[in-house]
Amino acid sequence: MYHFVERKGKPVICFPKKPFYITLMLSCLLPMHAAFANSQHRAVVTICETALQTNDQGTIQSMALQMKNWRSLQDDTLIKRAETCLQTGLDTGYFYSKPNERFEIKQASVANKNLLKDIEKLHKDLLGLCLSLAKQTPKAALEHPICTALWSAN
């Protein structure tokens, strides 16, 4: 694979200049890197799922921060498991974009519409609770800051 030659009276190691050897070395190393990355991804997802079961918020967030930078995932099951951890750990709607080969945040407009719906529902629920309180103890309902704010806004 290599041989010695003498240049200016000193022995020098010469490697072949054929690209075959470089291609052979790369073809052996790249699949090993991909297999290692895939097993590392599975381990991180498993750690995150265990943290979800034990409600370990620090670990969930730490694993989610690692996952959001993953690229070129092929396994759909792994992607779904990672999305669950990302959404829990980072409190945002992440999804895996196959064309871009990375995790992305769901469009803000969709998230805003969902937030607005949630706010409207909470507003109705709070009004209902304040009315129930008013029926039971009117004075407490009138003095409660949230109830007075809701009634003054309407």
Does 134 have pLDDT greater than 90? yes
Are 77 and 114 members of one domain?
no
pLDDT in tens, 86-118: 888 877 777 777 777 777 776 655 556 677 888
Give burial (CB, 10 Å; 0-12/13-18/19+) of 58.
exposed
Task: Please answer whether residues 84 and 44 qualify as being in contact, where contact means their C-beta atoms are separated by less than 8 angstroms.
Answer: no
Structural domain range at position 58: 3-106
Are 78 and 114 members of one domain?
no
Does 26 have pLDDT greater than 60? no
- CA 142 to chain CA centroid, Å, is 45
Instruction: Please state, in angstroms and rounded to a whole number, the distance separating the CA atoms of residues 30 and 110.
Output: 39
Which pLDDT score is estimated for 47? Answer: 92
Instruction: Please state, in angstroms and rounded to a whole number, the distance separating the CA atoms of residues 114 and 90.
Output: 17
Which pLDDT score is estimated for 100? Answer: 73
Which pLDDT score is estimated for 17? Answer: 60
Total domains in the chain come to 2
